[in-house]
Amino acid sequence: MPDFLDMGKYSFYVWSSVALFFILIGWDMFSLQRKQKSLCRQLLAMQRRQKHRRRSHRNQPLE
């Protein structure tokens, strides 16, 4: 097992690459979740505005 973890003289490069890969995958997942929440909030706000416009449009008297 120590031979596997040592990776010869390339262990720093290999393990730093593995760590960077997992960090970037984690960051990508985190940013996608934030974007999804933001888009859901925007959709809800748009739906509320449309509902409000329909209500106010129906309540206006015809001329």
Cα 23–29–31 angle (5° rounding)? Answer: 100
Please give the chain's pLDDT, 63 residues, in tens.
677 777 778 888 999 999 999 999 999 999 999 999 999 999 999 999 999 988 887 777 665
Q: Tell me how far apart the alpha carbons of residues 15 and 34 are, in angstroms, rounded to a whole number.
A: 29
Per the CB < 8 A criterion, the answer to whether 9 and 1 are in contact is: no
pLDDT at 7: 79
